[in-house]
Structure 1
Amino acid sequence: MRLRLIAAVLLSVIAGTTSAAEKVTLRLGDVKGDRFISLRESGELKNLPYDLKLTSFDSGAPVQEALNAGALDVGFTGDLPFLFVYAAGAPVKAVGAWQNNPDSIALLTRPDSGIHSLKDLKGKQIAVNRGGWGHYLVLGLLERAGLKPSDVTLRFLGPVDGRAALASHAVDAWATWEPYVSSAVIVDKDILVPQGGGKGILSGYSYALAREEALKDPAKRQAIADLQARLAKAQVWAAQHPAEFASALSKSLGMPQSITQRWIASAEIRPVNFTPVLATTLQQSADFFYRYKVLPKAVNVHQAFDYRLSQQANQVATGQTLATTGKQQPLSGQESPHE
């Protein structure tokens, strides 16, 4: 009996060691900001059945570069940076999504710039990130105002340099996104250029992207699906706990809480149902950028999506959507880790 007990213990130890040795590592790249912090603060990083290695970047472009180079398995980034790397042949697929309030991507100016409407942009210099949300926003706003790109001078700058250029009067306006918008409004006293009414120019979608190589690995596929569901739950938690989330962002990113509070109130980040509707939306963006010769060739994006790993996350997003209509509470039957 004693020998059988010892043998059972040894087998258990060996099985546990083998299981630990086989635990998959998922390499994640994220733009410095809300996603990883929401995962951490909501408790969704606890008891992961896989190892998660995070690398943080300042913008979406280097996330794409790292994915393309094989340094990451998964990357979180905006829809338009994804569009360009996919058009260039990068071996990546969109496997999940969430949405920012499109109006939280804004055109800023100084109070003394003389810009009070979109018509006033004529003859002005505008800082944008080439091929990104800012670039798309400005082209759309010019079109809305009946102006042509040649009526302004576009300066292609990243967000840090764009903010500095506006502050130093090197440009007259700057198109950017959160949290840069809130920081510029609160710290620099910049103002928003009125967008002339109508619906938002951008979709506001961001994507979880996965390398095709990772999607061929069954263990990584399972980990990616699980991570997406956890992120969706974390984003619902963040929306339900804005004060707590703003405090966590402030501490983690070294920002005044007044900025993080404005940021999350403006962005209204929420998970979305990952369906072919998103491919149709990205196709519209691809056609728009091709029309303006920002994208050098026409691109069919419908093959850029893999919907097979989004079922769990979609259930979370659908629950949240129903909750906003008063029909159902999100994450029914589950308490927030902080409650």
Structure 2
Amino acid sequence: MRLPSHLPRRTVLQLAAGAAVTGLAGLSIPNALAQTAPASGPRVLRIGHQKGLLSVLKGRGTLEQRLAPLGVKVTWTEFPAGPVQLEALNVGSIDFGDVGEAPPIFAQAAGAPLAYVAATPPRPALEAVLLPASSDVRSVADLKGRKVAYNKGSNVQYFLARLLEKNGLKYTDVQHVHLPPADARAAFEKGSVDAWVIWDPFLAAAEVTLGARVLADAQGVVNNRYYYFSSLNYAARNADVIKVVIDELDKVDQWAAANRSALAAELSQLWGLPRAVVDKSVARTVYGTTPITRAILQEQQAIADTFFDLKLLPRRINLLEAAV
């Protein structure tokens, strides 16, 4: 697999791992991590995070300051992927984390006791169907019979299903090529696939470094949110702690919305991506932290139902079971 010099293989593979969505079966947490569940005594908030706004919050140190008067100690563990983070929650190794739409659905289907505690606003501009600059495809209807690459079981698979439906196509009208982001990019560059359904920052990287053309993004099709989660037990017993975390995250969000250039500089270093790529992604991101509502859980329920219909889930799940 060949990757361009301006997007290092290590960086792409790290991002691919962070975005991969799989079932939780077969995933395991190192023994040292699995044994970090707190004993009785002072309260602890164990945060799992990927390279995102939680990482920015960690760098600020403000959460520790807010929680100190409550007698709460904060620990941080960085994870390469949402599913691994949720497995850590399932075995009692973390109490809080951040994740996209798909991993918590698979986690709940696998029996993880997760609770959705906050969400971002919709971010439909952060996922899209990409085409090579020279493609003769001009509309979604033109995808009929074409090879479309995407990460199986991810949020973009749901987006693709809804996009095809909205444009009068059946799900089976396209050839589905299941590839993780790094491999999908390589296939896209080689011309082995006709289209690639992907999310930021891979999306922005392909636009900036490959001159890829957006056929359609998710606006008007799906919402594409990001979520913060805890365990049902921790959230029920530590509502005051969860409230402080969400409040501090919202402050970071408000700062990000007002200081996009500074945020892009910080994320460029965090992600190891060119500044032009990060600028493009940050510019179209909607920042904010919102409470979980029944309407938001219904959005997740629609994704879960679609995944079950596509035979990606072993059973139907009820998203209300993940409500605090």
Task: Give the TM-score normalised by structure 1.
Answer: 0.75
Two-structure CA RMSD over aligned residues (Å): 2.4
User: Aligned pair 1:27/2:74, yes or no?
Assistant: no
| Aligned equivalent of 2:221 | 201
Unmatched 5+ stretches in structure 1? 1-20, 307-339
Do the aligned residues in 2 keep the contact of 1:250 with 1:260 (CA within 8 Å)?
A: yes
The 8 Å contact of residues 147 and 174 in structure 2, kept in 1 or not, is answered as: yes
| CA deviation after TM superposition for structure 1 residue 35, in Å | 3.5
CA positional deviation for 1:133: 1.1
- Does 2:257 correspond to 1:239? yes
Deviations 1:69-124 (A, max 9, x none): 33322121012221121122111111121134212211112113332211121222
Partner of 2:212: 190
Q: CA deviation at 1:273?
A: 3.3
Identify the match of residue 269 of structure 2 among 244, 251, 261: 251
Is 1:222 paired with 2:240? Answer: yes
For residue 314 of structure 1, what is the aligned residue in structure 2? none
| Change beyond 3 A, Cα 1:61–1:166 | farther
On the 8 A contact 1:41/1:248 being kept in 2, the answer is no
AA of the residue aligned to 2:228: A
Instruction: Name the counterpart of 2:312.
Output: 294
Within 2, Cα distance between the matches of 1:45 and 1:86? 28
Supply the distance in 2 between the matched residues of 1:176 and 1:183 (Cα, whole angstroms): 11
2:284 to 263, 266, 269: 266
Counterpart amino acid of 1:57? F
Identical residues among aligned pairs (%): 31
Would you say the 8 A contact 1:133–1:176 is kept in 2? no
Paired amino acid for 1:230: E
CA distance in 1, matches of 2:206, 2:78: 22
Q: Quick check: 2:147–2:175 contact (8 Å CA) kept in 1?
A: yes
* 1:51 to 1:173, Cα distance in 2 relative to 1, 3 A: farther
- Give, in whole Å, the separation in 1 of the partners of 2:171 and 2:108: 25
For residues 54 and 116 of structure 1, the distance between their equivalents in structure 2, rounded to whole angstroms, comes to 46
Unmatched tracts of structure 2, length 5 or more: 1-39
In 2 relative to 1, CA 99–55 (structure 1 residues): closer, same or farther, beyond 3 Å?
farther
SS of 2:226's equivalent in the other structure is strand
Corresponding residue to 1:106 among 128, 134, 144: 128
Letter in 1 for 2:153: G
Aligned length: 281
For 2:86 and 2:146, how far apart are their aligned partners in 1? 31
**Cα shift readout 1:246-295 (whole Å, capped 9, x = no counterpart):** 11111222222222211111122222233222122222222333344333
> How far has the Cα of 1:222 moved from its partner?
3.3
When structure 1 is superposed on structure 2, of 262-271 and 151-160 the one drifting more is 151-160
From the CA coordinates, give the structure whose radius of gyration is larger. Answer: 1
Pair 1:170 & 2:192 matched: yes
